[in-house]
Structure 1
Amino acid sequence: MRHIDSDALSSKVQRAQHAVEQIRGVGVVNGIRVIVDAQGCLLSVTVDQEAAIMAAYRAAVEDKRPKVDEALRELRADSTFEAISTYTNANSARLEAERLELQRKLDEEFDDDYYERGSIKAPDW
């Protein structure tokens, strides 16, 4: 049986996790632009009512949060789960900062592209 190099495997898992967390999906249909993260969570919607849609989305996320917390209360109280959770969340602050920076860059690029395209008139055919 082959000896498993757990450090090498751990590094590969971390690199893969980081790469997946950086993935963004962009869909544009009928002038509506949507960006999702690797898990399919909605990051942004660009339409006339974008602020209202995102506010409603954030309200829905906040509404579900205490329900999820209650459902996981017993599990989170377990010391083994706490140790595993601490290990897996060790890099979460760094990854979140990188995700936010990437989102900011994507938003800036879209804004630049949008305004550049907006200044070009379509031909009168």
Structure 2
Amino acid sequence: MSMQHNNFDSLGLKVRRAQAALEHARGVGEVDGVRVVIDANNRLVQASIPGAQALLAAYQAALQDLQSHLDEAMREIHADPRFDAISTFVHANEARLEVERAQPLDDPGRPRPTGVETAW
């Protein structure tokens, strides 16, 4: 049983290393002097072109415009008290997971994962 537990610990370490690598992953593309950088979520994080600041400002304006449409689409759900209860539960667990991730992997005081949900 101990050997199986070590195998899962090893897999958990690999998953955490992969998560860290994904958080820092960037894609870079350059064509005809135009250079863009995107993050692992395909978000534009940098652009190098004449007028790049205007492009990024327009992108931010589009995000804000989109947010108002998303807010309206979700209005009915957000008004339901059950949604608020579920959101509170999810955010509480996210905070716990962030604290666990911030601890060094070899910290003996670090809580051991209790299920697959903490390995992702």
TM range (shorter): 0.5 to 0.7
Deviations 1:95-117 (A, max 9, x none): xxxxxxxxxxxxxxxxxxxxxxx
Is 1:21 the equivalent of 2:30?
Answer: no
With normalisation by structure 2, the TM-score equals: 0.56
Counting matched residue pairs gives 92
CA RMSD of aligned residues (A): 3.3
Q: Which runs of 5+ in 2 are unaligned?
A: 103-120
Is 1:38 the equivalent of 2:47?
Answer: no
Q: Which residue number in structure 1 is paired with residue 90 of structure 2?
A: 81
Assess, with a 3 A threshold, how the Cα gap between structure 1 residues 76 and 37 changes in structure 2: closer, same or farther: farther
With normalisation by structure 1, the TM-score equals: 0.55
Assess, with a 3 A threshold, how the Cα gap between structure 1 residues 54 and 85 changes in structure 2: closer, same or farther: same
Report 1:80-119 matches (<5 A): 80-90=89-99
Q: Which has the higher contact order (CA 8 A, sep 6+)?
A: 2
User: Could you tell which deviates more after superposition, 36-45 or 10-19?
Assistant: 10-19
Report the Cα distance in structure 1 between the residues aligned to 2:41 and 2:19, rounded to whole angstroms: 12
Question: Which amino acid in 2 is paired with 1:62?
Answer: Q
Quote the sequence identity (%).
33
- Cα pair 1:75 1:81 within 8 Å, conserved: no
- Cα pair 1:35 1:44 within 8 Å, conserved: yes
Report the Cα distance in structure 2 between the residues aligned to 1:3 and 1:68, rounded to whole angstroms: 46
Report the Cα distance in structure 2 between the residues aligned to 1:69 and 1:10, rounded to whole angstroms: 39
Report the Cα distance in structure 1 between the residues aligned to 2:36 and 2:83, rounded to whole angstroms: 34
